[in-house]
Amino acid sequence: MAMFLALCLGFGGFFLGVIGQGDPIGVHGYLIAFVGYLLLFLIVHSFYSPNPSPKRVTRYFDDPTKAGIILAMLWVIIATFVGDWIAWLLVFPEATFDAGWSSFGRLRPVHTSGVIFGFGGNALIATSFHVLQRTSRARLPDQLTPWVIIIGYNLFCLIAATGYLMGVTSSKEYAEPEWYADIFLTVVWVLYLLLYLRTLKRRKEPHIYVANWYFMAFIIVMAILHVFNGLAVPVSLGHAKSYSLFSGVQDAMVQWWYGHNAVAFFLTAGFLGMLYYYLPMRAQRPIFSYRLSIISFWGITFLYMWVGSHHLHYTALPQWVQTLGMSFSIILLVPSWASAGNALLTLNGAWDKVRDDPTLRFMMVAAIFYGLSTFEGSFLAIRPVNALSHYTDWTVGHVHSGALGWVAMITFGSIYTLVPWLWGKKEMYSKKLIEVHFWLALAGTIIYVFAMWNSGIIQGLMWRAYNGEGTLAYSFIESVEAMKPYYVARAFGGFCFFLGTVIGLYNIVKTIKSTDLELAAPPDKEPIVHSSDALTLQTAE
């Protein structure tokens, strides 16, 4: 079965390569074909390895989670490096080697997609497999699907990133991949949803733990968003280029309906799922209020969908839609702060642990940044504030306080919790290096965010400043010049953060390789698997 899929991938890619001659889609075709044949080779190769023990079906299936975590770390290193590189490009604009692929416009989506989908997506998929099995006390229903999801998803990320370098982009922010990559991702995503539902069906716990609610909202809503936002008509099967089904004001609304809900359900709901499992586990305390987590779950699920239009204040979008977006953005603060408060109150009484344990501190800081950036988000959604902040670096700072402070910090906390468990080690290789990573990440984030606050507000004020005669006080280029010191500071902050991720990966690799950290007994209790389940498992493989 796995061979068949790899073969399909190989032939499919080859077909795309042939009909797409002379177009970037052809390059991608051959890339897909290459990956297909490589997988085929690996699968055939694995036939020669010894048969796995039949007892494996009574345990949790964690290999895809392991792969996902390593991939997430690799992506975060690449993507933050590219991000820092383009931050420097704004200081040294000549550094593009006179080539297309290296210019700001093409590298920016490599950075954004690399961080959101490469790092965030892999981390979410990996941890969701882990959380799902533990909280359901059930093994994933088969071995093939999780691998198809991990490999397929990363192939999508690879197609996306290489495509941007060649200039393949739909220009839809945070959804830049073209139609063929979109279709491919849709297939992978449906498999992911089905795998989630199938595992939940096998669960031995009567209640579905709240972390899974968030993961499910993440999977389901992203599917809806992705499909609608991606609707487009390709020029031909041999063209990477397609034209969006929507235009003008409708397209703007659809794009920001997608864009803001990608923030909501990818970067918020998914990572809250992570928080609701790994934070209590690391602190060894149950969540402060389970009831509050229910309220904030439904609050977030329901409210976020309304707020996308706050990206379009004072534009040609009808005003009632803008007002609706603004109002709901403000109400949204309630469930957001409920979650942040819930996380911090869980730690209340365990502050000594937070002081001594950098991993737990990562999670605490994440919760604080979550609270701060949701407050900032609601604030920026108010129309008069938005008049000043929109189009400036303030938005960039806001996004990064969420992405670096919340998303990345909760992920690093979760990964440092998870790695020793998965690989059966007592603890991480070096607590000191976690400490170093923590301070680099925190300092980097703060420098970045402060630089962008300053530059953003100055930009906004300069653009609207009038002199005594009642004419505009500054030309646009004067505002560009004024940004230089902040752009240097931002690039430096970004570099600190990047350095932290490299140290993180080094620490993880060392932990996996070390032999003296080995635990005598595997940490996880074997799940209860009925013999009938075990039987179906074997026939499925």
Partner 1 sequence: MTFDHETLVAFSKSYGLFYMMGFFAIVVIYAYWPSNKDKFDKAASRILEDEQE
Partner 2 sequence: MFKTHEKLERSTIGFAVAIMIAASIGGIIEIIPLFTIDETVEDVPDMRQYTPLELAGRNIYIREGCYACHSQMVRTLQDEVERYGPYSLAVESKYDHPMLWGSKRTGPDLARVGNKYSDQWHVTHLNNPRDVVPQSVMPSYGWLLRTELKYDDLDRHLAALKKVGVPYTDDMIDNAVADAYGQSDPESDQASGVFERYGDDTNVRAFDGDRRKLTEMDALVAYLQIMGGLTDISQVQTDDVNTVTKNISGE
Q: State which of residues 79, 175, 287, 365 lies at the interface with partner 1 (CB under 8 A).
A: 287
Q: Among partner 1, partner 2, none, what binds residue 255 when CB lies within 5 to 8 Å by partner kind?
A: partner 2
Q: Does 328 bind partner 2 (CB under 8 A)?
A: yes
Q: State which of residues 51, 467, 471, 531 lies at the interface with partner 2 (CB under 8 A).
A: 471
Q: Does 290 bind partner 1 (CB under 8 A)?
A: yes
Among the residue ranges 43-51, 150-158, 181-189, 286-294, the one whose residues contact partner 1 (CB under 8 A): 286-294
Per the listing, tokens 């297909």 go with 36
Among the residue ranges 61-69, 300-308, 427-435, 460-468, the one whose residues contact partner 1 (CB under 8 A): 300-308
Span 487-506, contacts to partner 2 by CB under 8 A: 487
128 Cβ contact partners less than 8 Å away, ≥ 6 residues apart: 196, 215, 218, 219, 270, 273
Tokens read off for 299: 């609050």
- The site for partner 2, by CB under 8 A, has a size of 103
Among the residue ranges 147-155, 177-185, 203-211, 464-472, the one whose residues contact partner 1 (CB under 8 A): 203-211
Going by their DSSP bridges, the two strands 242-244 and 232-234 should be labelled as antiparallel
Among the residue ranges 23-31, 35-43, 207-215, 462-470, the one whose residues contact partner 1 (CB under 8 A): 207-215
407 Cβ contact partners less than 8 Å away, ≥ 6 residues apart: 120, 267, 271, 366
Q: Residue 398 in contact with residue 406, Cβ under 8 Å? A: no
Span 273-302, contacts to partner 2 by CB under 8 A: 298, 301-302
- Which lies closer to partner 2 via its Cβ, residue 1 or residue 472? 472
- Which lies closer to partner 1 via its Cβ, residue 327 or residue 395? 327
Q: Does 108 bind partner 2 (CB under 8 A)?
A: yes
- Which lies closer to partner 1 via its Cβ, residue 336 or residue 454? 336
Q: Does 268 bind partner 1 (CB under 8 A)?
A: no
Phi/psi at 87 (nearest 5 deg)? -65, -40
Span 135-154, contacts to partner 1 by CB under 8 A: 135
What is the rounded CA–CA span in Å between residue 305 and residue 261?
6
Smallest separation (angstroms) from partner 1 to the CB of 267: 23
Among the residue ranges 35-43, 313-321, 406-414, 490-498, the one whose residues contact partner 2 (CB under 8 A): 313-321
Phi/psi at 390 (nearest 5 deg)? -65, 145
- The site for partner 1, by CB under 8 A, has a size of 28
Among the residue ranges 16-24, 295-303, 350-358, 491-499, the one whose residues contact partner 1 (CB under 8 A): 295-303
The 3-state DSSP class for residue 232 equals strand
Q: Residue 417 in contact with residue 359, Cβ under 8 Å? A: yes
Q: Among partner 1, partner 2, none, what binds residue 243 when CB lies within 5 to 8 Å by partner kind?
A: partner 2
**What DSSP letter does each residue of 72-127 carry, written as one string?**
HHHHHHHHHHHHHHHHHHTT-TTTTTT-STTSHHHHHHHHHHIIIIIIIIHHHHHH
- Which lies closer to partner 2 via its Cβ, residue 17 or residue 109? 109
Q: Does 173 bind partner 1 (CB under 8 A)?
A: no
Q: State which of residues 134, 226, 313, 361 lies at the interface with partner 1 (CB under 8 A).
A: 134
How many other β-carbons are positioned within 10 Å of the β-carbon of residue 56?
Answer: 14
CA-closest candidate to residue 216, choices 295, 124, 146: 124
Q: Does 324 bind partner 2 (CB under 8 A)?
A: yes
CA-closest candidate to residue 527, choices 135, 209, 213: 135
Binding mask 258-277 for partner 2 (x = CB under 8 A): ---x---x------------
End-to-end CA distance of the chain: 8
Binding mask 216-255 for partner 2 (x = CB under 8 A): xx--xx--x-------xxxxx--x-xxxxxxxxxxxxxxx
What is the rounded CA–CA span in Å between residue 399 and residue 388?
16
Q: Does 525 bind partner 2 (CB under 8 A)?
A: no
Q: Among partner 1, partner 2, none, what binds residue 236 when CB lies within 5 to 8 Å by partner kind?
A: partner 2
Among the residue ranges 183-191, 277-285, 404-412, 475-483, the one whose residues contact partner 1 (CB under 8 A): 277-285
Own/partner long-range contacts of 523-526 (Cβ < 8 Å, ≥24 apart): 523/421, 523/424, 524/59, 524/60, 524/134, 524/421, 526/58, 526/59
Q: State which of residues 16, 221, 303, 433 lies at the interface with partner 1 (CB under 8 A).
A: 303
Q: State which of residues 238, 280, 341, 424 lies at the interface with partner 1 (CB under 8 A).
A: 280
How many other β-carbons are positioned within 10 Å of the β-carbon of residue 207?
Answer: 9
Residues in the chain: 541
The 3-state DSSP class for residue 289 equals coil
Q: Does 333 bind partner 2 (CB under 8 A)?
A: no
Smallest separation (angstroms) from partner 1 to the CB of 302: 6
Per the listing, tokens 């998803």 go with 153
Q: Tell me the sheet residues that pair with 232.
A: 244
What is the rounded CA–CA span in Å between residue 308 and residue 152?
29
Q: Does 39 bind partner 1 (CB under 8 A)?
A: no
Smallest separation (angstroms) from partner 1 to the CB of 124: 18
Helices (H), 166-209: 179-201
Instruction: Say which amino acid occupies 258.
Output: Y
- Which lies closer to partner 2 via its Cβ, residue 143 or residue 329? 329
160 Cβ contact partners less than 8 Å away, ≥ 6 residues apart: 109, 113, 117, 176, 177, 181
Phi/psi at 232 (nearest 5 deg)? -160, 160
Span 155-174, contacts to partner 2 by CB under 8 A: 164, 167-173
What is the rounded CA–CA span in Å between residue 515 and residue 94?
48
- Which lies closer to partner 2 via its Cβ, residue 8 or residue 465? 465
- Which lies closer to partner 1 via its Cβ, residue 277 or residue 498? 277
Span 318-357, contacts to partner 1 by CB under 8 A: 320, 324, 331
Residues that bind partner 1 (CB under 8 A): 134-135, 205, 207, 209-210, 277, 280-281, 284-287, 290-292, 294-295, 298-299, 302-303, 306, 320, 324, 331, 524-525
